[in-house]
Chain A
Amino acid sequence: MSAIPADPNVTAVSATPRTETNYLNADWSIKSWLLTGDHKRIGILYLVTVSFFFFLGSIAAGLIRYELTAPAGFILESETYNKVFSAHGIIMVFLFLIVAIPAILGNFLLPLMIGARDMAFPRLNLLSWYLFMIGGACIMGGMINGGVDSGWTFYVPYSSMYANSNVTMVLTGIFIAGFSSITTGINFIVTTHKMRAPGMTWFRLPLMVWALYATGVVIILGTPVVAVTLLCIIFERVFHLPIFSAELGGDPVLFQHLFWFYSHPAVYIMILPAFGVQSELIANFARKRVFGYHLIAFSSLAIAGLGFLVWGHHMFISSESMYQGVVFSLISFLVAIPSAIKVFNWTATLYKGNIRLQTPMIYALGFIGLFTIGGLTGLFLGCLGTDVHLTNTYFIVAHFHYVMVGGAVTAFLGGLHYWWPKMTGRLYPESIAKWNAVLVFIGFNLTFFPQFIVGFMGMPRRYHYYYFAPEFQPYHIMSTLGSTVLALSFIIPGLYLTRSLTKGAKASANPWGAHGLEWETSSPPPTSNFLQIPVVLDEVYDFDPVTEHEQDKAAQALEVPSYLSNEAKSIESEKEKR
């Protein structure tokens, strides 16, 4: 039931928070949430469920790290350990990384950023969430029923002929979740093409929108391929339709081709939205237009396109021809260049900016460092000679955790903090958050850096026991110690963000003084996003560093406490604008 009737005298854009009708309090009933078409509510629904899955995947991670401190394990049997790392991979990849930034932040922000009232297909959006829930439930059902020990990569013939029966259940869940992803991708593409506000040309779009659009393209081209590939395994297990069976003359390596044809672009699904968030954070916290806007926009598309041409770099030693390896290695080096360009552009954006070291910016700066390391270690793996030694070892594990956790999760946390006031209408406690961001950086490096070393030494991945090689143990102990710190640094935001929902200070429309159409409406926004659709006259990041500097000086002169300074500053700048 609605709590407060809408006040017609209240204007759309106001500086100070009031209890006006917004998308959260418009209707408190469960039915209104479960049958909503509002992209903002769907984003929140995703936030709750994705956080739950992240929590489960993290428990699995904790178990893995705990087990690995001893060469012969502690509390798990090998089969259980294998199920635990498979669960960790499946949950984190399919139920967290593919979904988190696009479905939470993307769903919430895309219409707002382009000045639309909603996505092009709100009901499809809701269906997307339900498909995610059903897929997730199937996967969880398979886990509860005993789990699968095939690894998240489900290589045949192990998963088609040797692994236990829960494979079918889990694969069905992933299949359904894949359609959730596809419908989200369709929505992103159509919305970006057709729903932009008047005057919002392509090159006036925030870079987040470019990133989400590129992500949508990758999703619709790649996901169906893995869907049908996993379906083939289900066919083989349930209907005895052999497709990859070596005994019958089939080709188990064909599975790898089809699987990686999606799963490599999948990692771009995970990182492109993170790049988008990164651009937003850097621009708005350096108070400067992003350096090389056009190149960043085009590099997103280049990564999306080239990303489909490199899948073979997961298969250099899988027995395929040497020439295939050479081609894929070359293109893999090429696809590294657009990402490098982005990193340099973000760094250059900081030059002559007005940098505020608030929580989202700490995450953004951490991202630059961690993604640089993660991306560069990818070169070791794209380089054929070194990949022969490093593939299937902990070097790979460290590499992808650097880009996925150090990259995507860091960007997700940064974006979550940045848009938290917009989404919830509340401010989180800045000083705890700021120090926690530093803790994430430290804990992360402590956890995953030793894994580069132990991987170079030759420890294979997915190993429960390593008693043949006890010299690996010190690195595992270091890594587990780090993971304890990292776990803490993930729990803490969960706590203070939840607490801020009721105890946090109320946020104004634009507590950061940021630029972007989403900041031109109240926090939280009304259900229809804007009372009146804006007409866009200029580019998005139209900061002027010199003016910014003068405003900064004026705000500092007020000597307000730092944890309210962004609020006070925005009040000041709002006052000056009027």
Chain B
Amino acid sequence: MFSNFPATPPQASSFSREHDLIFYALLALTIIFTVMVGIGVIYFVIKYKRGSDADRSRPIYEDARLETAWSVIPLILALIMFYFGTKLFITMRVPPADAQEIFVIGKQWMWHVQHSNGVRENNTLHVPAGKPFKLTMISQDVIHAFYIPAFRAQMHVVPGRYTTMWFTPTQPGKYHLFCSMYCGTQHSEMGGTVVVMEPREWANWIENGGQSQATLTLEQSGERLYKQLACNNCHGAEDNMRAPSLYGIWGKKRTLTGGRSVIADQSYLRESILRPHNKITNGYSNTMPVYDGQINEEDVLKLMAYIKVIGSSVGGPSSSGTDTAAAVLNGTKGTMSPFAANAIQYQNSSMRRVDSTPTTRSGELAVNAIAAQQEAKGN
């Protein structure tokens, strides 16, 4: 149909084509019979209008053959449509054995979706094209219904028992998700989006805990920002003419011009980033640009986190959380605290297998941050 004026829903699942075939067949039957009856009525009304000179002799009041015909033929057509509809319905009701399970909880007035590896989402459903999925659903309060028009799939979500539906998405894209059983005031707002992704994209997404890319730790974000802002153009591994090295600066004593010395703590680092002219290291001049007003406090924190660990790993700074923690380990701090060791181990194991007990993004961050903190305290 016209792209700006759609009249049909998109076809995005393995059911859609078959459903639409049946739908259009029924539509054709409807049109044919309506037109037949309509033409019959109009023709008779015109031909046999009162006063018209049509032949009215031998009118018929009963005709067994005619009445049988128009009882039996519609019956046969009806049974044919019943057959195809039932066939599709049975397909829709019997999920394939390899369908992956997704859990859905409906409540007034939102949907909680839980993937089997623990990734959770609200009011959205991310699925890959080409794989069958089975939804196991229950309601926390009243009866709802999970409806994806593009998939031609719909099922009530009932309190007290699980209901299931399944589908195989076929077409990547974003589609409507509606609650279609009236459930109270915000029934019409209890909707969302079903996102069908390419399989690889979805695998990425699910592995990253429901994000399009891996979540960065504070240190990793800081490193990215450090490179983005071109800090490394001047601050290298060694002190050079332009700028002092920042490797291992954290907590060290720093001598400023004018003889004053400070400990490189958090406020010093912050001040040095935002208003470097206030505290210039001895032997250097005021050449660092001012970053006050160019980066926000969150960025400052990220840079600070990175600077705390910069240069402390064997192979230089890296972008993996594990290695960052290893960087912590292998830095100038002494033996690893048991907590940090545990944390590293835990992280190692869960980062590699996506179907293990769920950990979410916040867990990873906590692990890394805690590890880093522990090491800092142990200093």
Which chain A residues have a beta carbon within 8 Å of chain B's beta carbons?
78-79, 82, 149, 151, 155, 157-158, 161-163, 246-247, 249-253, 286-295, 316-319, 322, 325-326, 329-330, 333-334, 336-337, 340-341, 343-345, 347-348, 350-357, 365, 368-369, 372-373, 376-377, 379-380, 382-389, 391-393, 453, 456-458, 460-466, 468-469, 471, 474, 545-546, 548-549, 552-553, 556
- Closest residue on chain B to residue A353 by CB atoms: B48
The residues of A that contact B188 with a CB separation of less than 8 Å are 78, 460, 462-466
Among residues 9 to 30 in chain B, which have CB atoms less than 8 Å away from a CB atom of chain A? 9, 18-19, 22-23, 26, 29-30
Is B57 part of the contact surface with A, judged by Cβ < 8 Å? yes
User: Taking the nearest CB of chain A, how far is it from the CB of B171, in angstroms?
Assistant: 15
- Closest residue on chain B to residue A157 by CB atoms: B142
Determine chain B's interface SS by DSSP, over half rule.
mixed
The residues of A that contact B49 with a CB separation of less than 8 Å are 354-355, 357
Stretch at the interface among B97-105, B156-164, B336-344: B156-164
The residues of B that contact A354 with a CB separation of less than 8 Å are 48-51, 56
- Closest residue on chain B to residue A246 by CB atoms: B160
Contact A343 B82, beta carbon cutoff 8 Å: no
Contact A458 B30, beta carbon cutoff 8 Å: no
A157 and B92 CA atoms in complex are apart in Å by: 27
With contacts A329-B85, A376-B30 known, is A319 near B155, CB below 8 A?
A: yes
Determine chain A's interface SS by DSSP, over half rule.
helix
A316 and B154 CA atoms in complex are apart in Å by: 10
The 8 closest A-B pairs by CB, nearest first: A458-B149, A385-B88, A246-B160, A384-B89, A383-B85, A350-B44, A460-B180, A463-B188
In this complex, which of B41, B71, B81 has the most chain A Cβ atoms within 10 angstroms of its Cβ? B41
Is B216 part of the contact surface with A, judged by Cβ < 8 Å? no
User: Taking the nearest CB of chain B, how far is it from the CB of A406, in angstroms?
Assistant: 12
Contact A341 B176, beta carbon cutoff 8 Å: no
The residues of B that contact A334 with a CB separation of less than 8 Å are 75, 78
Contact A385 B182, beta carbon cutoff 8 Å: no
In this complex, which of B6, B56, B178 has the most chain A Cβ atoms within 10 angstroms of its Cβ? B56
13 pairs, A vs B, C-beta closer than 8 Å: A247-B159, A291-B60, A317-B155, A333-B78, A344-B67, A350-B44, A353-B59, A373-B30, A380-B30, A385-B88, A392-B147, A462-B187, A462-B188
Q: Mark B56-93, 1 if CB is under 8 A from A, else 0.
A: 11111110001100110011001101101111111011
The residues of A that contact B152 with a CB separation of less than 8 Å are 388-389
- Closest residue on chain A to residue B80 by CB atoms: A333
Is B203 part of the contact surface with A, judged by Cβ < 8 Å? no
The residues of A that contact B256 with a CB separation of less than 8 Å are none
Given contacts A149-B185, A329-B86, 14 further A-B contacts (CB under 8 A): A82-B184, A82-B185, A155-B143, A155-B181, A292-B67, A337-B75, A372-B38, A377-B30, A385-B87, A389-B23, A392-B145, A392-B180, A392-B181, A546-B56
Is B284 part of the contact surface with A, judged by Cβ < 8 Å? no
Contact A376 B67, beta carbon cutoff 8 Å: no
A335 and B209 CA atoms in complex are apart in Å by: 52
The residues of A that contact B147 with a CB separation of less than 8 Å are 392, 458, 460
Among residues 98 to 118 in chain B, which have CB atoms less than 8 Å away from a CB atom of chain A? 108
Among residues 115 to 166 in chain B, which have CB atoms less than 8 Å away from a CB atom of chain A? 141-143, 145, 147, 149-150, 152-156, 158-161, 163
Contact A552 B51, beta carbon cutoff 8 Å: yes
Contact B56 A252, beta carbon cutoff 8 Å: no
A292 and B46 CA atoms in complex are apart in Å by: 22
Contact B92 A388, beta carbon cutoff 8 Å: yes
A444 and B368 CA atoms in complex are apart in Å by: 67
Is B314 part of the contact surface with A, judged by Cβ < 8 Å? no
Is B241 part of the contact surface with A, judged by Cβ < 8 Å? no
Choice from A287, A347, A386 contacting B22 with Cβ under 8 Å: A386
In this complex, which of A155, A322, A330, A463 has the most chain B Cβ atoms within 10 angstroms of its Cβ? A463
A561 and B372 CA atoms in complex are apart in Å by: 102
Is B40 part of the contact surface with A, judged by Cβ < 8 Å? yes
User: Taking the nearest CB of chain B, how far is it from the CB of A281, in angstroms?
Assistant: 13
Contact A162 B141, beta carbon cutoff 8 Å: yes
Choice from A319, A372, A377 contacting B163 with Cβ under 8 Å: A319
User: Taking the nearest CB of chain B, how far is it from the CB of A558, in angstroms?
Assistant: 12
With contacts A354-B50, A460-B180, A546-B56 known, is A391 near B45, CB below 8 A?
A: no
Is B228 part of the contact surface with A, judged by Cβ < 8 Å? no
A540 and B87 CA atoms in complex are apart in Å by: 48
Is B54 part of the contact surface with A, judged by Cβ < 8 Å? yes
Choice from B74, B150, B185 contacting A340 with Cβ under 8 Å: B74
Contact B44 A355, beta carbon cutoff 8 Å: yes
The residues of A that contact B70 with a CB separation of less than 8 Å are 340-341, 344
The residues of A that contact B79 with a CB separation of less than 8 Å are 333
Report the count of interface residues on B (CB-CB < 8 A): 86
A250 and B158 CA atoms in complex are apart in Å by: 12
User: Taking the nearest CB of chain B, how far is it from the CB of A391, in angstroms?
Assistant: 7
The residues of B that contact A380 with a CB separation of less than 8 Å are 23, 26, 30
A158 and B51 CA atoms in complex are apart in Å by: 61
Is B273 part of the contact surface with A, judged by Cβ < 8 Å? no
Is B189 part of the contact surface with A, judged by Cβ < 8 Å? yes
Contact B26 A379, beta carbon cutoff 8 Å: yes
The residues of B that contact A388 with a CB separation of less than 8 Å are 19, 89, 92, 152-154
Is B356 part of the contact surface with A, judged by Cβ < 8 Å? no
A336 and B94 CA atoms in complex are apart in Å by: 28
Is B234 part of the contact surface with A, judged by Cβ < 8 Å? no
User: Taking the nearest CB of chain B, how far is it from the CB of A359, in angstroms?
Assistant: 15
A464 and B94 CA atoms in complex are apart in Å by: 34
Contact A337 B78, beta carbon cutoff 8 Å: yes
The residues of A that contact B191 with a CB separation of less than 8 Å are 468
A157 and B141 CA atoms in complex are apart in Å by: 8
A458 and B20 CA atoms in complex are apart in Å by: 13
Contact B182 A384, beta carbon cutoff 8 Å: no
A574 and B304 CA atoms in complex are apart in Å by: 108
Contact A474 B5, beta carbon cutoff 8 Å: yes
A350 and B350 CA atoms in complex are apart in Å by: 79
Is B33 part of the contact surface with A, judged by Cβ < 8 Å? yes
Is B183 part of the contact surface with A, judged by Cβ < 8 Å? yes
Contact A158 B142, beta carbon cutoff 8 Å: yes
The residues of B that contact A351 with a CB separation of less than 8 Å are 44, 48, 59-60
A329 and B153 CA atoms in complex are apart in Å by: 18
Is B7 part of the contact surface with A, judged by Cβ < 8 Å? yes
Choice from A82, A344, A372 contacting B187 with Cβ under 8 Å: A82
With contacts A319-B155, A377-B30 known, is A553 near B44, CB below 8 A?
A: no
Choice from B48, B90, B94, B145 contacting A317 with Cβ under 8 Å: B145
Choice from B23, B56, B87 contacting A456 with Cβ under 8 Å: B23
Contact B74 A337, beta carbon cutoff 8 Å: yes
Is B328 part of the contact surface with A, judged by Cβ < 8 Å? no
A290 and B75 CA atoms in complex are apart in Å by: 23
A404 and B27 CA atoms in complex are apart in Å by: 20
User: Taking the nearest CB of chain A, how far is it from the CB of B327, in angstroms?
Assistant: 46
Choice from B75, B149, B155, B184 contacting A162 with Cβ under 8 Å: B184
The residues of A that contact B60 with a CB separation of less than 8 Å are 291, 348, 351-352
Contact B182 A462, beta carbon cutoff 8 Å: yes
The residues of A that contact B92 with a CB separation of less than 8 Å are 385, 388
Contact A319 B30, beta carbon cutoff 8 Å: no
In this complex, which of A286, A457, A462 has the most chain B Cβ atoms within 10 angstroms of its Cβ? A457
Choice from B150, B154, B185, B187 contacting A391 with Cβ under 8 Å: B154
Among residues 319 to 367 in chain B, which have CB atoms less than 8 Å away from a CB atom of chain A? none
Is B229 part of the contact surface with A, judged by Cβ < 8 Å? no
